[in-house]
Amino acid sequence: MNLTLKIWRQKNTTSQGKMVEYKVNNISEDMSFLEMMDILNEELIVKGDDPIAFDHDCREGICGMCSLYINGEAHGPDRGITTCQLHMRKFKDGDTIYIEPWRAKAFPVIKDLVVDRTSFERIMASGGFISVNTSGNTQDANNIPIPKDDADEAFDAATCIGCGACVATCKNSSAMLFVSAKVSQLALLPQGKLERERRVLNMVDQMDKEGFGNCTNTGACEVECPKGISLSNIARMNREYLRASLVKKD
Amino acid sequence: MSKAFEMFSSSIGRKFVMSLTGLFLITYLVIHLAINLLSLVDAHLFNEASHFMGTNWFIQAMQYVLALGFIFHIVQGIALARSNAKARPQKYALDKPSTNSSFSSRSMIITGLLVLLFLVLHLRDYFWELKFDDMNGHATDFDLVVALFANPLYTGLYVFSFIMLGIHLNHGFQSAFQSVGVNHPKYTPGIKKFGVIYCVIVSAGFSLIALVHYFNSL
Ligand code: HEM
Ligand code: SF4
Ligand code: FES
């Protein structure tokens, strides 16, 4: 199929970007969206143009690197997938496709379609961990009994790959779904309960400092999340936060 | 800010304020609707109820709580909308929000501001007239109501405003529970259903009262 692409081009963080139109021909419907981008880039390189920068790594839906806001939706028109899992069969011959980077103050554009998501890493560093002695005498995790329901819910939360689609799609650029998945994953397990107050207070504080918006509970994040992270995690984080605010001593 | 109140400056704490004031206003609307419905039943009964509300010490004290509830909700709502707009300085060239969220959830500030506009008019026409003015020369509260609804423009605006409030609450009702962490597979579906029933009853109830008075005046 032949397609018209409108792609965001931007030299660096400080320069002014703009949408630029490209044509690609003979795209197979069996290709993934990123392969289509590869073909366009090869053509650009042959012509001596600057190829389009976009993020990707595993190309199998597990690393969360590939971003792209495609035709007005995070990761394109399909559900429960990342951009590398999006197939060209979702498009028709002659389609015009808009391709933009994640848009959020806390995700500044580095180049073209690549955004800086280290704000997520700073949130993780502020509390998304457990403090254990790893010097060789750690207790076997299987020795600690954990209710199956809790283990399942913690595992569901832990499937978040930190892609940032929730932020990109939220009208407020809120990071609540991501942060709540990380808070839930640890708060549900005995190993994580020890630091639960400190964790949720610090992570929410860091999230606010990074310039993400507030949650209006529109639920757009849950719909666009490639891993099906549920809004119930946000409610759990709200409870954790309320509880921590009430019981903390300092 | 004092340590005890620190949380209210955070993103989640500010949503607690929205939720608690919102739930308070939701409760208040039920009482307001019940009293207004009396105006369809009997003029005397309505005047009695209105007089009771205007003189009872508890209701008078609650008036200040209500005013504070409104003020906190409105000020915080506007502040949240402003900081949310700043979180995405560069907009998308193409965005399709209707594929993943409801219209009512995306227009809370618009429906909220329209309700606020109505509120100002409403306070001027009733609260001010009843408390501080001569009720436009009418003898009873009921007469004032009847006279105002005789104006088709006024009645139209009234009905429009309650449709806006209905849209506000279509999202707001269940959202208020989520904001304070109430989300449970057993109860949340019921809360959502009850929220829809609630906003239909409130929107239709207030609108019906206005329309009945208007048609009676013809
Ligand atoms: C009787 C009148 C009103 C009622 C019963 C009401 C109720 C509610 C409820 C229950 C919520 C959901 C709270 C949450 O998500 O936790 C809400 C949200 C909101 N309200 Fe109201 N409201 C009223 C009037 C207003 C007015 C006058 C404004 C004016 C600005 C307003 C602005 C907002 C905004 C902006 C939100 C969304 C906040 C957010 O989630 O970011 N509301 N309202
Ligand atoms: S919650 Fe979902 S959308 Fe958000 S970062 Fe995690 S995997 Fe991506
Ligand atoms: S490239 Fe790893 S998830 Fe898409």
Pick from A111, A138, A158: which residue ends a domain? Answer: A111
Q: Model's pTM, two decimal places?
A: 0.96
* Residue B66 half-sphere exposure toward CB, CA atoms < 13 A: 14
**Domain shared by A28 and A45, yes or no:** yes
The parent domain of residue A199 ranges over 118-249
Report the atom number in ligand 3 closest to the C-alpha of A55: 1
Q: Give dist(CA A74, CA A71) in Å, integer.
A: 8
C-alpha distance from residue B4 to each of A199, A244, A250, B105 (Å): 18, 12, 9, 31
DSSP annotation of B8 reads G
Residues in chain A: 250
Contact check, Cβ <8 Å, B10/A241:
yes
Q: Give dist(CA B131, CA A28) in Å, integer.
A: 74
Establish whether residue B166 lines the binding site of ligand 1, counting it when its CB lies within 6 angstroms of any ligand atom.
Answer: no
DSSP annotation string for A78-138 = SSS--GGG-BGGGS-TT-EEEEE----TTS-EEETTEE--HHHHHHHHTTSS-----SS-P
Looking at the partner chain, which of B3, B10, B83 has a beta carbon nearest the beta carbon of A213? B83
**Domain shared by A220 and A237, yes or no:** yes
How crowded is residue A166: how many other Cβ atoms within 10 Å of its Cβ?
Answer: 28
**Domain shared by A217 and A98, yes or no:** no
Distance A84 CA to ligand 3 centre (A): 5
Contact A109, A13 (CB under 8 A): yes
Establish whether residue B167 lines the binding site of ligand 1, counting it when its CB lies within 6 angstroms of any ligand atom.
Answer: no
Contact B80, B18 (CB under 8 A): yes
Summarised one tens digit per residue, pLDDT across range A102-154 is: 999 999 999 999 999 999 999 999 999 999 888 887 778 788 999 999 999 99
Contact A61, A85 (CB under 8 A): yes
C-alpha distance from residue B123 to each of B128, B130, B186 (Å): 6, 10, 40
Ligand 2, residues at Cβ distance < 6 Å: A 160-166, 177-178, 181, 225-227, 229
Pick from A111, A126, A157: which residue ends a domain? Answer: A111
**Domain shared by A86 and A129, yes or no:** no
**Domain shared by A27 and A94, yes or no:** yes
**Domain shared by A127 and A241, yes or no:** yes
Summarised one tens digit per residue, pLDDT across range B98-114 is: 999 999 999 999 999 99
- Per the structure, the count of domains in chain A is 2
Share of chain A above pLDDT 70, in %: 100
Does the interface predicted TM-score (ipTM) exceed 0.85? Answer: yes
**Domain shared by A105 and A133, yes or no:** no
Whose Cα sits closest to atom 3 in ligand 3? A61
Owner of token pair 């009645």: B155
Q: Hey, which residues does B67 pair with through a beta bridge?
A: none
CA neighbor of B112 nearest in space, from B22, B184, B185: B22
Q: Give dist(CA B55, CA B51) in Å, integer.
A: 6
Distance A249 CA to ligand 2 centre (A): 32
**Domain shared by A42 and A140, yes or no:** no
**Domain shared by A154 and A223, yes or no:** yes
Ligand nearest to the CA of A56: 3
Q: Per-residue pLDDT averaged across A30-35, rounded? A: 97
Pick from A93, A111, A129: which residue ends a domain? Answer: A111
Contact check, Cβ <8 Å, A220/B91:
no
Distance A177 CA to ligand 3 centre (A): 19
**Domain shared by A88 and A185, yes or no:** no
Summarised one tens digit per residue, pLDDT across range A170-215 is: 999 999 999 999 999 999 999 999 999 999 999 999 999 999 999 9
Which domain CATH number covers A35?
3.10.20.30
Q: Which of B15, B76, B92 to probe by mutation at the A interface, max A CB count within 10 Å?
A: B92
The parent domain of residue B133 ranges over 2-217
Which domain CATH number covers B151?
1.20.1300.10
Contact check, Cβ <8 Å, A72/B96:
yes
What radius of gyration, in Å, describes the C-alpha atoms of chain A? 20
- Per the structure, the count of domains in chain B is 1
- How far apart are the CA of A172 and the nearest CA of chain B, in angstroms? 5
Q: Give dist(CA A169, CA A70) in Å, integer.
A: 11
**Domain shared by A41 and A79, yes or no:** yes
To the nearest 10 degrees (0 to 180), the angle between helices A232-247 and B152-179 is 70
Which domain CATH number covers A139?
1.10.1060.10
**Domain shared by A197 and A171, yes or no:** yes
pLDDT at B2: 66
Establish whether residue A162 lines the binding site of ligand 3, counting it when its CB lies within 6 angstroms of any ligand atom.
Answer: no
